[in-house]
């Protein structure tokens, strides 16, 4: 299966095969990150993203096919992200996949990007549902019960900013550059998390939703109260921000673990999967380790290049879809919003994140 991913700021193509024992094998996977293009703006600029996907996708597909040493005849199908995401980018990948499928006569699958993330542990370690997934990236912050392939219950989502976005905005405010997550983590390592007392958003709330806009405001107030900011001040703000953000995630994850157990009582082996770019944050991982130890879950984090956006997860989701349903018609539309759980309540302020 050829997979194509263009929903945000990575242009990616990959060939994934299913081995006779049912497990997946990444035959080739190429990812072109647009980080440098967006860095001057401190965030992803949709028009720049779409134009760059358009400029590079054909070459990347060719590269993925040639690295896999595979011809179009060998493929079982062509899968592309059909949403959710930045619509110009999604359209680029989806139209390319449709054109390739039409020209080669291969089945075409439009894939939900979130399903790609959700099914990655099946590709990387053969993990089968049910399991609980925390997806924390620049665009998404969600807790999902992966009940089965194709069956997802969204337990919580952000009602405003995504966690990666909160890291990026904190970095921007403190002049730490873009993407901000790694810079904030590095600065926090030298900081005193006790000097500032930031709120832990949503703590104790009965649902499993997230909110980071209040924390962002608290960071802004702290930063503007000290001028000029010395390196030690920046480090202390980062440390306090990271601690509050991790505490907020831990509180939400603990609630979701209770909900997951109510839904899937009596499971022998309970797993929390953490994915998305922010899962690279070591303080967050330690925090999740503690949550898992307390609730007797095991923590599984895919390798970082499969936590962040890539096309192998889309190809693998294509393979998983292909055994369960018919291919999509070419009339399938790109969707800026596409909740994985169709029954979940819409979150109007969460952008593409819901
Ligand atoms: O999954 P991802 O690569 O892509 C998109 O969301 O498109 O996630 C990127 C996000 C950015 O917001 C980045 O700042 C954040 O993940 N991130 C981190 C770390 N590494 C990346 N946040 C906190 N700590 C990190 N070490
Ligand atoms: Zn993603």
Each residue's pLDDT tens digit, 147-172:
999 999 999 999 999 999 999 999 99
Q: Are residues 160 and 197 in the same domain?
A: yes
pTM of the model: 0.94
Q: Are residues 309 and 274 in the same domain?
A: no
Q: Are residues 346 and 200 in the same domain?
A: no
Ligand 1: residue of 277, 310, 314 to mutate (most ligand atoms within 8 A of CB) is: 277
Burial (CB count within 10 angstroms: exposed 0-12, middle 13-18, buried 19+), residue 280:
middle
Q: Is the distance from CB of 179 to CB of 138 less than 8 angstroms?
A: yes
Q: List CB contacts of 262: < 8 A, sequence separation 6 or more.
A: none
Sheet holding 271-275, edge to edge: 151-157, 141-148, 131-136, 271-275, 298-300
Q: Are residues 276 and 319 in the same domain?
A: no
315 CA → ligand 2 middle, Å: 14
- Ligand 1 environment, Cβ below 6 A: 8-9, 137-139, 164, 167-168, 179-182, 185, 276-278, 280-281, 308-309
Nearest one of 275, 307, 336, 333 to 50, comparing CA atoms: 336
Please say which residue of 267, 283, 303 terminates a domain.
Answer: 303
Tell me the sheet residues that pair with 271: 298
Q: Are residues 203 and 338 in the same domain?
A: no
Please identify every residue whose CB atom is under 5 Å from ligand 2, which is an ion: 137, 309
Beta-strand pair 131-136/151-157? unpaired
Q: Could you say which ligand is closest to the alpha carbon of residue 313?
A: 2
Whole-angstrom Cα distance, residue 146 to residue 114? 11
Q: Are residues 164 and 81 in the same domain?
A: no
Q: Could you say which ligand is closest to the alpha carbon of residue 184?
A: 1
Q: Are residues 337 and 265 in the same domain?
A: no
Q: Are residues 251 and 338 in the same domain?
A: no
Whole-angstrom Cα distance, residue 74 to residue 318? 15
Each residue's pLDDT tens digit, 56-108:
999 999 999 999 999 999 999 999 999 999 999 999 999 999 999 999 999 99
Sheet holding 78-83, edge to edge: 24-33, 10-18, 2-5, 78-83, 108-112
Q: Is the distance from CB of 352 to CB of 85 less than 8 angstroms?
A: yes
Per-residue tokens: 310? 């890539």
State yes or no: pLDDT of 347 exceeds 80. no
Q: Are residues 284 and 140 in the same domain?
A: yes
The boundaries of the domain holding residue 273 are: 130-303
Q: Are residues 264 and 314 in the same domain?
A: no
339: domain CATH number is: 3.30.420.40
Q: What is the pLDDT of residue 353?
A: 42
Q: Are residues 176 and 265 in the same domain?
A: yes
Q: How confident is the model at residue 351 (pLDDT cuts 50, 70, 90)?
A: low
Q: Are residues 231 and 220 in the same domain?
A: yes
For the chain, the average pLDDT equals 95
Whole-angstrom Cα distance, residue 108 to residue 97? 7
- The number of folded domains in the chain is 2
Which ligand 1 atom sits nearest the alpha carbon of residue 138? 6
Per-residue tokens: 61? 């597909």
């Amino acid at each position: 299966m050829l997979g194509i991913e263009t929903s945000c700021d990575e242009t990616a193509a990959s060939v994934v095969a299913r081995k006779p024992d049912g497990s997946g094998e990444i035959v080739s996977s190429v990812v072109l990150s647009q980080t440098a293009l967006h860095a001057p703006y401190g965030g992803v600029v949709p028009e720049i993203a779409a134009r760059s996907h358009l400029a590079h996708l054909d070459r990347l597909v060719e590269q993925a096919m040639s690295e896999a040493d595979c011809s179009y005849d060998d493929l079982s199908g062509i899968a592309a992200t059909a949403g959710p995401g930045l619509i110009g980018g999604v359209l680029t990948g989806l139209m390319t996949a449709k054109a390739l499928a039409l020209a080669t006569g291969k089945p075409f699958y439009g894939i939900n990007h979130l399903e790609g993330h959700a099914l990655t542990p099946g590709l990387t370690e053969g993990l089968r549902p049910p399991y609980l997934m925390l997806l924390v990236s620049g665009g998404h912050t969600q807790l999902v019960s992966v009940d089965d392939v194709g069956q997802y219950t969204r337990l919580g989502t952000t009602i405003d900013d995504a966690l990666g976005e909160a890291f990026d905005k904190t970095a921007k405010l403190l002049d730490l550059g873009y993407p901000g997550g790694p810079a904030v983590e590095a600065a926090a390592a030298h900081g005193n998390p006790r000097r500032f007392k930031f709120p832990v958003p949503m703590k104790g709330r009965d649902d499993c939703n997230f909110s980071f806009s209040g924390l962002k405001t608290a960071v802004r107030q702290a930063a503007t109260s000290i001028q000029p900011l010395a390196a030690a001040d920046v480090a202390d703000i980062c440390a306090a921000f990271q601690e509050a953000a991790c505490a907020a995630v831990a509180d939400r994850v603990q609630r979701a673990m209770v909900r997951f157990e109510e839904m899937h009582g009596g499971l022998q082996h309970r797993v929390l999967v953490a994915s998305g770019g922010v899962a690279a944050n070591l303080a967050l991982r330690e925090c999740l380790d503690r949550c898992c130890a307390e609730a007797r879950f095991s923590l599984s984090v895919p390798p970082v290049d499969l936590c962040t956006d890539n096309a192998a997860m889309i190809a693998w989701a294509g393979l998983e879809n292909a055994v369960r349903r018919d291919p999509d018609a070419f009339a399938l539309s790109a969707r800026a919003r596409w909740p994985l759980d169709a029954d979940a309540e819409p979150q109007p302020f969460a952008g593409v994140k819901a």
